[in-house]
Amino acid sequence: MTTHATLLRRIKKSAPAITLKALHVDTASDTWTKPGSMGTDGFVVVHVVGAGGGGGGGASSRGAAGAGGGGYSMKRIAAGSLGSTETVTIGAGGAGGSAAGTGSTGGTSSFGSHATATGGVGGGPNLSDAGLGGAGASGNLNTTGNGGGSSSGNLTAGEGGNGGGSFFGGGAAGGQETAGTAYGGGGGGAKDAQTGGAGFAGVVVVEEWY
């Protein structure tokens, strides 16, 4: 007589194991192609990070605010919900603001229509013009990037504010025209009529399981 426990053991032994077969890190916009061997039980897990914004440009003897970090979205997508190809879009890092100018907002990253993450908002030239973080959407897990920092000085001797970090961190230090240092990191605010730091570009990571 076959017991329920024995039957379960037989099923586990006969069922093929699903393992991580490939890992793609896209740092430039591309097209992902579904493997023909993925079958019906396979799936992907995607991690999408928007780009960091650009830090604000400092006015003479004044510090500017830092930019926000890119948002993050993670999603598990079954093979049957995937197209034969999916468009991968990577957001470009925001440019730092020129002297006394506002930095650009970072670009949006996405994996098809499945998961999206917007870029961080650029920092402004004033002490309190810190850029907000971008936001993830449509995933199983969505988070917002850290906002940029306000200038730490006063109206006559300001240091630039720090850039906000993304899921990967990477927010830049303020005051030195410093760019973000990891995917989605916001640029730092400048000081003394300098240009703000650039934001770091976004990224899309695709795990293939089958």
148 backbone φψ class: left, alpha, beta (φ>0; ψ -120 to 50): beta
For every one of its 210 residues, what pLDDT tens digit does the chain have, with 9 covering 90 and above?
A: 455 555 445 544 555 799 999 999 999 999 999 999 999 999 999 999 999 999 999 988 888 999 999 999 999 999 999 999 999 999 999 999 999 999 999 999 999 999 999 999 999 998 889 999 999 999 999 999 999 998 765 544 568 999 999 999 999 998 777 999 999 999 999 988 899 999 999 999 999 999
pLDDT score, position 177: 78
Using alpha carbons, select from 71, 126, 65 the residue that is nearest to residue 96. 65
Cα atoms found within 13 Å of the Cα of residue 1, Cβ hemisphere only: 2
Tokens representing 158 are 């300001």
What percent of the chain lies above the pLDDT cut of 90?
79
| Cα dihedral 76, 81, 87, 92 sign | negative
In a domain, 36, yes or no: yes
Cα gap 149→162, rounded to integer Å? 5
Please write down the HEC assignment for all residues of the chain: CCCHHHHHHHHHHHCCCCCEEEEEEECCCEEEECCHHHCCCCEEEEEEECCCCCCCCCCCCCECCCCCCCCEEEEEEEHHHCCCEEEEECCCCCCCCCCCCCCCCCCCEEECCCEEECCCCCCCCCCCCCCCCCEEECCCEEEECCCCCCCCCCCCCCCCCCCCCECCECCCCCCCCCCCCCCCCCCCCCECCCCCCCCCCCEEEEEEEC
Tracing tokens 């000081």 back to the chain, one arrives at: 191
- The residue segments making up the domain with residue 72 are 18-210
Q: Is residue 162 part of a domain?
A: yes
d(CA 49, CA 187): 15
Q: Does residue 6 fall inside a structural domain?
A: no
Among the listed residues 134, 170, 193, 161, the one whose alpha carbon sits nearest the alpha carbon of residue 65:
161
In a domain, 170, yes or no: yes
The mean pLDDT value of the chain amounts to 91
The token pair at 168 is: 């990967």
**Is residue 111 domain-resident?**
yes
Residue 144 maps to a domain: yes
Residue 2 in any domain: the answer is no
Q: pLDDT (tens digit, 9 = 90+) per residue, 124-182?
A: 998 889 999 999 999 999 999 999 998 765 544 568 999 999 999 999 998 777 999 99
Into how many domains does the chain fold? 1
> Which two three-digit tokens encode residue 166?
């993304």
Give the integer Cα–Cα distance in Å for 81 and 63: 49
Q: Are 71 and 136 in contact (CB under 8 A)?
A: yes
Tell me, yes or no, whether 8 lies in a domain: no
Q: Report pLDDT for 11.
A: 43
